[in-house]
Amino acid sequence: NAGVMQNPRHLVRRRGQEARLRCSPVKGHSHVYWYRQLPEEGLKFMVYLQKENIIDESGMPKERFSAEFPKEGPSILRIQQVVRGDSAAYFCASSRVLLGQRSGNTIYFGEGSWLTVV
Amino acid sequence: DQQVKQNSPSLSVQEGRISILNCDYTNSMFDYFLWYKKYPAEGPTFLISISSIKDKNEDGRFTVFLNKSAKHLSLHIVPSQPGDSAVYFCAARGETSGSRLTFGEGTQLTVNP
């Protein structure tokens, strides 16, 4: 987990509000991923970004969710008009290079941001 | 469609004995597999990985075995220690999925002193 910084660690929002989750990758990592873990489930892929580009957003809900990774600053996962079902742990991860079968590298996860919608 | 399955939600072993965590997958396009350990309220921590061109990878107390024909992999921890108590996730990457990992549901390992 070394180096991937997520904030806030815990966030409480009322239904209909917006939630913004921030992620600073490991220094030197240009690949960022967001995963969501619902209660009693495994982690589910949401989106993969490189600087200023969304590479794969196949796991993102079509509405209310968006992600960005600007040239400067952290990656942001934004959830608009939150609903109770959005309550989950959101994990950001980063890697230096694209995960490959021969490189032996991996992606490193942050500590997570726990969103509670009341 | 759960492409990566960990059928045992929990496992309990005695300190010093071997822990064997199992994982099955259905997608034959998966070519890289990883195991992560997760403590409550923390992020997953990478343990060990294996490429589909290998059938075994070892790192200290951790060994991962891959049986491609059975689409099965397992993580062996020996000897098990109380500090190993955590949730273990199996994850897989496909040839065409870039860096997207598909995770299993996790197995809670408890190592009793």
pLDDT at A118: 96
CB contact under 8 A, A48 and B99: yes
**Cα B103 to the center of its chain, rounded Å:** 10
pLDDT at A28: 86
β-pairing, A53-56 vs A43-50, is: antiparallel
CB contact under 8 A, B105 and A41: yes
Distance from C-alpha of A12 to C-alpha of A108, rounded to nearest angstrom: 26
pLDDT at A61: 93
Which residues in A7-16 are b (16+ Cβ under 10 Å) and which e? eeeebebeee
Which residue of A45, A100, A112 is in closest CB contact with B100?
A45
Distance from C-alpha of B56 to C-alpha of B65, rounded to nearest angstrom: 5
CB contact under 8 A, B49 and A56: no
Whether residue A23 is predicted with pLDDT greater than 70 in this model: the reply is yes
Higher pLDDT, B92 or B98: B92
A68 confidence band (pLDDT: 50, 70, 90): very high
How near does any CA of chain B get to the CA of A98, in Å?
6
Q: Are A86 and A20 in contact (CB under 8 A)?
A: no
Question: What residues form DSSP beta bridges with B34?
Answer: B49, B91
